[in-house]
Structure formats: C-alpha cells, structure tokens
Homo-oligomer: A and B are copies of this chain.
Amino acid sequence: MMEDISIRYVDGFTPGSLRNPILIEGLPGIGQVGKLVAEYMIHIIGAEKIGEIHSIYFPPHVIIEETGIARLTRNELYLHRGECRDIVFLIGDYQSTSNEGHYILTDAYLDIAEELRVGQIFTLGGFGVGHLVEEPRVFGAVNNPAIREGIESAGVIIQRNEPGGGIVGAAGLMLGIGALRGLDAVCLMGETSGYIVDPRSAAVVLSVLSRLLGITVDATQLNDRAAEMEKAIEGLIENERIQKDEELSYIG
C-alpha cells in the first residue's frame, strides 16, 4: 500500500550519519531559479542520491526517462559530503497539486531534516517582477531574527512584504512551519521576470549562497547558459524591431 507521502532512502544510507548537515531546497518555482541553483550545485560540487519522495499530492503521471523507464513524478534527496559539513539537496519534478498538500509535504520535508539532524535550511526561489532584469538582486527572508544579520551581510535584501504575495509553496512553508518546529531556515530569491527559466538569476543566487556557505562553486557553466539565453532573447527582440520597421516603411 502506497502512503500519502512515502520517503525511501537508498539501500545502505544511514540517516544519522551526516556531519553537521545543512539542507538546500531547490524545487520547481518562479523562473525555475531554485531548481537551477540546486541542480547546478549537485552537478558541479558532486552529490550522490540518498532518497526519493513520492506522494499522492504530486501530479498523477509518470515520466519516461532516458533509459525508457517510466517512473513516478517525485522529489529527490542528494547528499554532498563536504570537508566541514555535509549538504543535503531536496530537488524534484513538481510541488503539490493542492493547497493542503503543500503543507503536508513541507511537514514531511521537515521530518526528513530532523531525521538527518539538519542544522539550517536554505530554500531557493525566484522573485518575480514582471519585466526583464539586467542585474538581478537577491531578496531573502529568515524565520529567526538571530540569523537575519548574517544573511544581509552577504548582500541579501530582506524587506517587509517583499515579495508582496508572500513566498508560496515549500520555499516559504519550510520557513513558516520550520519556525514552529524550531528549525532555522533562510529563503533566497533571485530577481527574475517570472516569464522564462532564468539562469542569470540563478547565478546571482548561487553566488550569494556560496558566500554564505563558505564554499567555492565554479559558476562558469551557469553563466555561459545565461549568456546564451540572453543572446537568444536579444535576437528575438532585434527581429521584432526589424519586422516593425519594415511594416512602418511599407505603410510610409
């Protein structure tokens, strides 16, 4: 029987074995910023998969993988064993399809954090502004006044009602429910239009996060991807301009 939420660690993994771990959440969201950062970090600094989460609150379908194997939509846990401390990543295909599910899933994520004895949580996301942003800033929120100053000193902007609509989904609820459970959590949000997948915004979040963690993550590939994307967008805008000019000369 499948449970509403099932968490399965890979064989041989011992939840209590981590060294001073922190948790980084990078689930899908605005501009896919959080997802980009977390998956990029896993790619660059290296991390092994330690678990999977399935739930009736995820969309009811399977995804066909490269190997031709159909698998349930899911969230995943990855572990990077660092020199000073371990980093657990929470990534995945989707968030909840229902309002209630967001709460119930986040609570399960915090159960995992507690089981792994996570000391601090970083949730990552995008901060949608509705227009293209040349030099995205990083906005943030904390769930404990004691950790605010440290975050701000890394260049993160923390302001009342920013974003105005609050932080929706796991990136927000891990702070909110975390506070009730005594778990410190920080949310970092890269400014982004909200219209496109945004590696530029991800790059600035990565930069701030690396500084906060005191680790070095080579951002070259992420910056390259951002540069390619910006070139493509400029091309689109230029084309549109030319087309408009032609229309005008035709009229004139």
Contact = CB atoms under 8 A, between A and B. Distances in A.
Given A103-B56, A107-B2, A187 B70 contact: yes
Majority SS of interface residues in chain A? mixed
Contacts of A144: 69
17 contacts: A2-B103, A6-B180, A60-B96, A60-B172, A61-B166, A62-B166, A62-B175, A64-B158, A64-B160, A64-B162, A64-B163, A64-B166, A66-B160, A69-B142, A70-B172, A72-B180, A73-B166
Contacts of A162: 64
A220 to B, nearest CB: 27
Nearest to A56: B103
A175 B73 CA distance: 12
Which 4 interchain pairs have the tightest Cβ spacing?
Answer: A60-B102, A72-B176, A61-B166, A62-B172
**What copy number does this chain have within its complex?**
4
A60 B160 contact: no
Contacts of A111: 1
Interface string A168-197: 110011011101100000010000000000
Nearest to A64: B141
Interface residues of A, number: 57
Given A63-B166, A69-B179, A72-B179, 5 more contacts: A62-B175, A63-B161, A69-B142, A69-B145, A71-B176
A2 B176 CA distance: 11
